[in-house]
Amino acid sequence: MTSAGLAAHTMRLNALVIDARQKGRRALLTARGELVHGGTDTLGDALAALPPGITTIELDLAGVSFLDTTGLTCLDLLNEYVGQHDVRVTTHGWRGQPRRVLELVGLDATDPLRTGGAGSADLPVRTASAVARERAEQLDMLRLEIAQLRQALDSRPVIDQARGVLMAAHGCTPDQAWQILREASQHSNTKLHRIAAAVTASATPDGPPPPEPLRRALRTAAAHHAP
């Protein structure tokens, strides 16, 4: 690596530093740098160096300029520390990019821990990794709902056309035509838009008739709903 490249690399490196001071039975920790891989070790060393008798730990992260997903394990470490010691831990000062990461994974950016020692009235402890997994599952469900909605919107024109075909063929109302399509879909275990496409195609010149299972399902449904 050239001297210029080494200098640039050194400038990018902003290792996590944690300063600690004691105020009565409170430990005030001030972090600065980047909360990335290795940050958990730095935090663990700072916690291990605390004197006995500490009941409250306040971690100020206003000086943290960058947070990645591996840095979230620091929150898990703090939660574990709470579970092993009769202390209360709070964090504050999240801002900039670290705050956006917390919001992205669904954590409270004011204080993502929300934990306490024995007798605390706060919410039950959930690790940052658990919250992140839950948020990912929610996003997957949202993507699925969006995909289903898009499919429904794309299918709407052909469904409307199929209703028109059934209305002309059976002299039924739009609602009755919809009921015919829906019931035929259920009884034949065929997606609604596929039945609609088959009905629409059969009404075109030289269009193929629906497959026999669909024809049977359509006849049965029409007998139930057509006048």
Q: How confident is the model at residue 76 (pLDDT cuts 50, 70, 90)?
A: confident
What is the pLDDT, as a whole number, of residue 137? 72
**Are 200 and 181 a contacting pair, CB within 8 Å?**
no
| Residue 70, pLDDT above cutoff 80 | no
Measured between alpha carbons, how far is 141 from 123 in angstroms, rounded to an integer?
25
CATH number at residue 88: 3.30.750.24
* 160 shares its domain with 116: no
* 107 shares its domain with 149: no
* 36 shares its domain with 113: yes
What is the pLDDT, as a whole number, of residue 102? 83
Quick one: tokens of 216? Answer: 């049977």
* 14 shares its domain with 117: yes
Cα–Cα–Cα angle for 37, 39, 42, rounded to 5 degrees = 140
* 89 shares its domain with 164: no
- The strand pair at 56-67 and 17-23 is best described as unpaired
Place of tokens 């024109």: 157
* 65 shares its domain with 20: yes
Domain residues for 184? Answer: 142-225
Quick one: tokens of 195? Answer: 């039945």
Quick one: tokens of 128? Answer: 């940052």
Whether residue 136 lies inside any domain: the answer is no
Strands ordered across the beta sheet of 17-23: 17-23, 26-35, 56-67, 88-92
Last residue of a domain, one of 126, 152, 172: 126
Whether residue 99 lies inside any domain: the answer is yes
| Residue 224, pLDDT above cutoff 80 | yes
* 88 shares its domain with 157: no
102-146 confidence digits (pLDDT tens): 887 778 888 887 633 333 334 444 555 566 666 667 667 767 776
Count of the separate structural domains present in the chain: 2
Last residue of a domain, one of 71, 101, 126: 126
Q: How confident is the model at residue 9 (pLDDT cuts 50, 70, 90)?
A: very low
| Residue 227, pLDDT above cutoff 70 | yes
Pick from 120, 89, 114: which is nearest to 102 by CA? 114
185-209 confidence digits (pLDDT tens): 999 999 888 999 999 888 888 888 8
* 79 shares its domain with 158: no
Measured between alpha carbons, how far is 42 from 70 in angstroms, rounded to an integer?
13
Measured between alpha carbons, how far is 182 from 110 in angstroms, rounded to an integer?
49
Q: How confident is the model at residue 63 (pLDDT cuts 50, 70, 90)?
A: very high
Quick one: tokens of 164? Answer: 């028109």
Quick one: tokens of 77? Answer: 């470490």
| Residue 54, pLDDT above cutoff 50 | yes
Mean pLDDT of the chain: 80
3-state secondary structure of 21: strand
Pick from 73, 92, 8: which is nearest to 35 by CA? 73
- DSSP-assigned letter for residue 211: P
Pick from 61, 72, 74: which is nearest to 33 by CA? 61
Quick one: tokens of 19? Answer: 């300063």
- The strand pair at 88-92 and 56-67 is best described as parallel
- Is residue 195 within a helix (H) or strand (E), and if so which, with residue range? helix 192-202
* 117 shares its domain with 204: no
* 89 shares its domain with 190: no
This prediction's pTM: 0.49
What is the average per-residue pLDDT within 79-107?
Answer: 86
